[in-house]
Amino acid sequence: MNFLDYAPAPESQAILNLRSDYGLFIDGEFVAGRGTPFQTIDPATEKRIAMIANANTADVDAAVAAARRAYTGAWSRLSGSDRGKYLFRIARLVQERARELAVAESLDNGKPIKESRDVDVPLVAAWFFYYAGWADKLDHAGLGPNPASLGVAAQVIPWNFPLLMLAWKIAPALAAGNTVVLKPAETTSLTALLFAEILQQADLPPGVVNIITGAGDTGQALVNHPDVNKVAFTGSTAVGRAIARSVAGTDKKLTLELGGKAANIVFDDAPIDQAIEGIVNGIFFNQGHVCCAGSRLLVQESIHDEVIDRLKDRISTLRLGDPLDKNTDIGAINSADQLRRITELTAMGEQEGAERWSADCAIPENGFWFAPTIFTNVSTSHRIARDEIFGPVLSVLTFRTPAEAIAKANNTPYGLSAGIWTDKGSRILAVADKLRAGVIWANTFNRFDPASPFGGYKESGYGREGGRPGLAAYLKPAPSLKPAASLKPAPRRPRAVRAPDATAAPAVSARKKAAK
Amino acid sequence: MTRLAIPKTYKLYIGGKFPRSESGRVYEILAKKGDFLANAAKASRKDAREAVVAARAAVGGWAGATAYNRGQVLYRIAELLEGRRAQFVDEIVQTEGVSVAAASAQVDEAIDRWVWYAGWADKYVQVAGNANPVSGPFFNISVPEPTGIVAIVAPQAGGSLLGLVSVVAPALVAGNTVVVIANETMPLSAISLSEVLATSDVPGGVVNILTGSPAEIAPWLASHADVNALDLVGAGDLDWVDLQIAAAETLKRVLPPENGPDAATPSIDRIVAFTETKTVWHTKGLI
Amino acid sequence: MTSSQLATRLAPRDRTLALLGGEATDANLRRYLHGIPGIDAVGLEQRAADLGSRSIKTTSKKWALDTIIRLIDLTTLEGADTRGKVRSLVGKALTPDAGDPDCPRVAAVCVYGDMVPHAVEALGSAHAAGTGDGIAVAAVATAFPSGRASLAVKLADTADAVAAGADEIDMVIDRGAFLSGHYGLVFDEIVAVKEACRRPDGSHAHLKVILETGELNTYDNVRRASWLAILAGGDFIKTSTGKVAPAATLPVTLSMLEVVRDWHRLTGEKIGVKPAGGIRTSKDAIKYLVTVAETVGEEWLQPHLFRFGASSLLNDVLLQRQKMTTGHYSGPDYVTID
């Protein structure tokens, strides 16, 4: 036998106790949605897992109203230590039900069980544990004494780390004293709904967290709701831009975690075996469905061929297949739509003259899959070097000097993350200084921790999640503090409806058109 | 017999130079009582574009200077302001129509505020940054860094010098460069400040001052893809929501308008608002 | 010079000369060994942990357990070793599981040099290195475990064991010389010991070079010492004597496997790896199999390319093996002690 054809080692689904239909979680109860329900499927088999309720605008209103009632009636009156106790409870319940959550996540999202089990779910617990401790220490959040919560937070999260993104959003919001209406992504609602059950087990006061499911229009209705005080969004730059536009002129506080096209820079003195691992982890972790993925490999020209050889060897050992198999490295692409996008962009890469290499792995018959792929001979002008592919596709570019590496790394409208691989400590620090990105990994990649702020420069968004800045994003200075209160917006003026005059106008509308 | 005075030609300040508007346009600056004081350059969108180019060119040097150095350079400006105190008082009296005492008080406060901000240059990172105790063998640190180019609509009401200083100084502290649209009707303090800047150690392009119509210029800056942040503090009378919408196109960081005497009160928040938190993970391996 | 010529045509000294572009002096070796890319400890340990988290079940596990047995150098290295103890060890090597005649035999028994005649005698006709069911005799030599003796003593120690019938020599490098930068000295000793492994008929006892990674301490040192040992003609590189903690660890073994992989890439030659000491459970041993297979390829999972230096490991594997056969958990009374 071939030892490397490891026998199947599937994680059992017996631990799951799923319902066939899920309602919206509003005011502490599951209620029917008023929109047309939709199904959530297992992307590895395309089989239905459950029917999910669809929230229409009336449901959004109900959820926001519940959150408002809970805010004024309960949560904002609770002591910080009591809020913290609820969060600690939630953290423990997540730990207790960790295996179940991991299995559900892999089933619904398609990510390998080893990742949901070893990365996503442990971090979810850690996130609640970390922010639980902040709840009664807000004076030290950096906004002066007695900072105030914002009110109702509208939170819209993506499908790539469904439960983890939920934790990133809900934990700091609740610690700071806000209440929440959260909308998970359409294709990955399941773990958010299991999480709602956990909230019931934790006996969290009704309405403090409301989870409404639906598609983009549900999210839009939520962030545009007039009674929302904070909007937090993780997702594409296009949607983030639209949200930034729609909250313009309001006093909603906004945090955006958007796209990226991270450079992973490998110098010729890099610890090469670890760099290869870092490249692989950087782009193939979670099928490359990672906003901070190291999707652009910038390798020093002198070691390009050797790195590519080693990389191909290593990628050839990756195991693609059943997300619930404990030995799977590459799971399923989350949706047919995403698979289409990856396929289109890689086809374009070939058209534009880049050289494609894909791992020779068997692709299952059903479900959505994409073999790990690297493109060499990529130039900075290629679309695969500029657009976020959000899949297991690496674009390889070369550089000759540190200055060129930095220039190429920064040559993007994004600025979420970057990697640096070199044995030279002083170079790490100098290059890190010059990279325009919010998270930089030196001789490592794709590490996350609740104590570590995460977020982007430029079009990768603004605001930070994690750490003290992640808490401050859900707070404002005490109203009595004169100087710090200076940033309050002026009374809102009605939006101009007249056509702007010829000298002043074109900037806004012309650019919008040009961007289409 | 009184001496015939020599009036000054008031120009823009872009890239360390004093150009006229490329459009050739000027507009009249009137004293509070309505008398003609001067013709100020009326900046065009192309002047704004040039200012952004100059500001971009200056980012590397200014952001890359040591914090101590930036603090010294900023403090030096306060020294020069002090030396030109009389001129600023005189211009404020003329344009704002306030008493000499009130004008003097404004200049004093502006200078003191500048010094306050100058002192933050080598400290704000320590207050806003964090060492992060992550659970793993990593050294993890978060530091705020300048956002890049900040376009500012200076306060259009209140003290013309104090308002300007209150928004320009905090943006400079972290190492941003600035394109600021001055108080439209009372730009003399801004122009004189540019003369101070030009003779100080602030590199050309770090501060660029445009006089003219905020309503005309601001949309170009708000939508300019190479501007990273937008301070709308003085844009309350403009269609500022549209400006914010335009800024959303490239996800600019935006501070909303503020009205009243408390506008742009000194605060570390104004410094941090135009910074980005960068978090760096380093592996820690002994063997 | 092509890489295959590097591997096959040249003696270690000439081969090293070709790679180094000069004699194997301290300075030349230093230049070469310090030019090898460094190791980031965090990344290496993470990779090892990832490999260690593979889930080996059912048929794969059954194969893995049998393979582990086939790869064991069943070892006794005590001051109290006697003829009786060695005979008992050999008995265990020949019949690991008294209740299961299909149980594979171990690769070798590993003893001190003066015990070699007892091992050879006890093995009798089963003593046949590298053939079918044959069990080899490995002897530790060169003033094991410290290596603190003159070269003459070390060579005599080696020659003695070979003459007594040892098929394999497990030598120790001079860690003091290595740590003080005398790479040339370490190199020359390995070359000389290899020469001492020569039998009258011209064949060699296989040479395993023990790096004693616990004393070399850093991963970079382990990597350099691995290159040095291979350059000097070692057939195997081995982690530890078992007398120094830490002995074999998964990250250390991974780093040595990476050198073996790179050497194969460079020359086409296959070098063996032997983690020794501290591997006591099947679960741990399976992690090593995974690491070998995913780093250098599963071709390495053969006795001439991979060994476990272990004593208590065997019985744990047998317990697991019995569980897989019978379906219920076994107990220590159902495996024999040696």
Asked if residue C326 is part of any domain, the answer here is yes
Is A275 found in the same domain as A251?
A: no
User: Does residue A182 sit in the same domain as residue A307?
Assistant: no
The torsion angle over the Cα atoms of residues C317, C319, C321 and C323, rounded to 10 degrees, is: -150
- Global pTM value: 0.94
CA distance B190 to B91: 10
Is residue C313 domain-resident? yes
User: Which of B222, B239, B253 lies nearest to residue A462, judging by beta carbons?
Assistant: B253
Cβ within 8 Å, pair A449-B263 = no
Look at residue B11 and tell me if it is in a domain.
Answer: no
- State in Å, rounded, how far the first CA of chain B is from the last one: 88
Tell me which residue of A293, A267, A269, A297 sits closest to A281, measured CA to CA: A293
Nearest CA in chain B to C251: B287
**Residues B250, B253, B256: CA angle, nearest 5 degrees:** 120
Distance CA(A284)–CA(A82), nearest Å, equals 41
DSSP state of C192: H
What confidence score (pLDDT) does residue B263 get?
87
Q: Per the domain annotation, does B252 fall within a domain?
A: yes
List of chain B residues whose C-beta atoms are within 8 Å of the C-beta of residue C46 = none
**Within-domain flag for A491:** no
- Residue B119 has phi, psi (to 5 degrees) of -70, -20
- Residue A490: predicted pLDDT: 43
Q: Which of A459, A511, A513 to mutate to test the interface with B (most CBs of B within 10 A)?
A: A511
Domain range holding C218? 41-331
Q: Is residue C299 part of a domain?
A: yes
Specify whether A219 is located in the same domain as A196.
Answer: yes
What are the start-end ranges of the E strands in A260-408? 263-266, 296-300, 355-358, 373-376, 393-399
d(CA B141, CA B268): 20
The answer to whether B223 contacts chain A (CB < 8 Å) is yes
Consecutive H or E run containing C275 = none
Catalytic entry in A105, A186, A257, A388: A257
A502 domain-assigned? no
Q: Provide the number of structural domains found in chain B.
A: 1
β-pairing verdict for A209-211 and A179-183: parallel
Domain carrying residue B209 = 26-283
Q: Are A443 and B282 inside 8 Å of each other by CB?
A: yes
CB atoms within 10 A of CB A505: 15
Using an 8 Å Cβ cutoff, are C171 and C193 in contact?
Answer: yes
Does C42 contact B137 at a Cβ distance shorter than 8 Å? yes
The total number of residues shown for chain A amounts to 516
The residue annotated as part of the active site, out of C154, C194, C238, C287, is C238
Per-window interface: C 221-280 vs B, CB < 8 A: none
Instruction: Please count the CA atoms within 13 angstroms of the CA of A9 that sit on its side-chain side.
Output: 21
C 129-158 residues inside an 8 A Cβ radius of B: none
Predicted local distance difference test score (pLDDT) of residue B120: 98
Residue numbers in A near B262 (CB within 8 A): 482, 485-486
- Alpha helices, H only, chain C: 3-8, 12-20, 26-33, 41-52, 58-70, 83-94, 116-123, 151-163, 175-179, 183-196, 213-216, 219-231, 250-267, 282-295, 313-326
Q: Which chain C residue shows the shortest CA-CA distance from B281?
A: C42
Looking at residue A10, the DSSP 8-state letter turns out to be B
Dihedral angle computed from the Cα positions of residues A477, A481, A482 and A483, in that order, rounded to the nearest 10 degrees: -60
User: For residues A173 and A153, is the Cβ–Cβ distance under 8 A?
Assistant: yes
8 Å CB contact between A206 and A179: no
Domain membership flag for residue C28: no
Q: What is the DSSP code string of A447-472? A: ---TTS-B--SGGGEES-BSHHHHHH
Residues 6+ positions from A10 with CB-CB distance below 8 Å? A322, A324, A325, A326
What is the nearest CA distance from B169 to chain A, expressed in angstroms?
Answer: 16
Instruction: Identify whether the C-beta of residue B25 lies closer than 8 Å to the C-beta of residue B42.
Output: yes
CB-CB under 8 Å, C218 with B283? no
Nearest CA in chain B to A498: B239
- Enumerate the β-bridge partners of residue C172: C210
Answer whether B263 touches A (CB < 8 Å). Answer: yes
Q: What is the DSSP string of A277-291?
A: HHHHHHHHGGGG--T
Distance from CA of A275 to the nearest CA of C (A): 8
The candidate with the shortest Cα–Cα distance to C210, out of C250, C178, C165, C167, is C178
- The CATH number of the domain holding residue C135 is 3.20.20.70
First to last CA, chain C: 51
Residues of A in contact with B279 (CB under 8 A): 438-440, 452-454, 467
What's the CATH number where A42 sits? 3.40.605.10
At residue C222, what are phi and psi to the nearest 5 degrees? -60, -45
What are B224's two structure tokens?
A: 């300019």
Complex-level ipTM: 0.94
Chains adjacent to B (≥3 CB pairs closer than 8 angstroms): A, C
Interface test with C, best of A1, A5, A6, A427 (most C CBs within 10 A): A6
> CA-CA distance, B150 to B224, in Å (whole number)?
11
Q: Is A257 one of the catalytic residues? A: yes
CA-based nearest distance A115→chain C, Å: 11
**A:C CB pairs within 8 Å:** 76
| A31 Cβ neighbours under 8 A, 6+ residues apart | A23, A24, A25, A62
Q: What is the 3-state secondary structure (H, E, C) of A241-280?
A: HHHHHHHCCCCCEEEEECCCCCEEEECCCCCHHHHHHHHH
> Do A107 and A190 have their domain in common?
yes
The confidence score (pLDDT) of residue A480 equals 65
Strands in chain B per DSSP E = 26-30, 36-41, 130-131, 138-146, 149-153, 177-181, 207-210, 229-231, 253-255, 275-283
Count CB atoms within 10 A of the CB of residue B35.
Answer: 8
Residue to test with chain B: of A406, A416, A508, most B Cβ within 10 A: A508
- Is C43 in contact with A423 (Cβ distance < 8 A)? no
Measured CA to CA, the distance from residue A461 to residue A243 in angstroms comes to 11
Eight-state DSSP code of residue B63: H
Is residue A97 within 8 Å of residue A198, measured between CB atoms?
yes
- Residue partners of C14: CB distance under 8 A and separation at least 6: none
How far off is chain B from C309, nearest CA to CA, in Å? Answer: 24
- Average pLDDT value over all residues in chain A: 93
What is the rounded distance in angstroms from the CA atom of residue A38 to the CA atom of residue A22?
Answer: 10
CATH number at residue A276: 3.40.309.10
The minimum CA-CA distance between A281 and chain C, rounded to whole Å, is 10
What is the three-class DSSP state of B20? Answer: coil
| Residue A361: partners with Cβ closer than 8 Å, 6 or more residues away | A318, A319, A320, A330, A371, A372
Residue A273 contacts C where some CB pair is shorter than 8 Å: yes
Q: How many domains does chain A have?
A: 2
In a domain, C23, yes or no: no
> B245, A508 in Cβ contact below 8 A?
yes
Cα–chain-centroid distance for residue C45? Answer: 21
**Is position A28 within any domain?**
yes
If you search the block for the tokens 């006093």, which residue do you land on?
A251
Closest chain B residue to A247 measured between Cα atoms? Answer: B245
Please check whether residue C155 lies inside any domain of the structure: yes
Q: Report chain A residues whose CB lies below 8 A from the CB of B277.
A: 438, 453, 455, 464, 469
Cα separation, A41 vs A75, in Å, equals 35
User: In whole angstroms, what is the distance from residue C239 CA to residue C225 CA?
Assistant: 10
Gap between the Cα atoms of B44 and B235, Å rounded? 17
Among A391, A418, A449, the domain boundary falls at: A449
Alpha-carbon span A207 to A67, nearest angstrom: 5
Burial class (CB in 10 A: 0-12, 13-18, 19+), C292: buried
Q: In chain B, which residues have their Cβ closer than 8 Å to the Cβ of A462?
A: 251, 253, 276
Backbone angles phi, psi at A466, to 5 degrees: 95, 150
Which residue in A has a C-alpha nearest to residue B241's C-alpha? A249
**Residue A395 within a domain:** yes
Write the residue in A467, A483, A485 that is nearest to B142 by C-beta.
Answer: A467
Q: Do A443 and C43 touch (CB under 8 A)?
A: yes
Instruction: Identify which of A440, A441, A484 has the shortest CB distance to residue B267.
Output: A484
Domain enclosing residue A165, as ranges: 23-258+464-472
Show the tokens assigned to A66. Answer: 């519940």
Q: In total, how many domains does chain C have?
A: 1
Q: Do B283 and C219 touch (CB under 8 A)?
A: no
Question: Strand A355-358 to strand A373-376: parallel, antiparallel, or no bridges (unpaired)?
Answer: antiparallel
Residue C122 lies in a domain: yes
| Residue A269 and residue A252 share a domain | no
In the predicted model, residues of chain C with pLDDT beneath 50 are: 1
Phi-psi region of A304 (alpha: psi -120 to 50; beta: other; left: phi over 0): alpha
Any idea what the CATH number is for the domain that residue B50 is in?
A: 3.40.605.10
Residues 161-190 of B with CB under 8 A from A: none
Cis peptide before C246 (omega within 30 of 0): yes
Judge whether C149 lies within some domain: yes
Phi, psi of A486 (to 5 degrees): -65, -15
Any domain includes A123: yes
Compute the CA torsion angle A321, A326, A329, A330 (nearest 10 deg). 40
Low-confidence ranges of chain A (pLDDT < 70): 480-516
User: Which pLDDT tens digits describe chain B residue by residue (287 residues)?
Assistant: 689 988 888 999 999 999 999 999 999 999 988 999 999 999 999 999 999 999 999 999 999 999 999 999 999 999 999 999 999 999 999 999 999 999 999 999 999 999 999 999 999 999 999 999 999 999 999 999 999 999 999 999 989 999 999 999 999 999 999 999 999 999 999 999 999 999 999 999 999 999 999 999 999 999 999 999 999 999 999 999 999 999 999 999 999 999 877 789 999 999 999 999 999 999 999 98
Whether the CB of C43 is below 8 Å from some CB of chain B: the reply is yes
Do β-strands A461-462 and A355-358 pair in parallel, antiparallel, or remain unpaired? unpaired
Per residue, the 3-state secondary structure of B242-279, as one string, reads HHHHHHHCCCCEEECCCCCCCCCCCCHHHHHCCEEEEE
Spatial contact of A459 and A414, defined as CB atoms under 8 Å apart: yes
B283–C41 C-beta distance less than 8 A: yes
One domain, residues A378 and A248: no
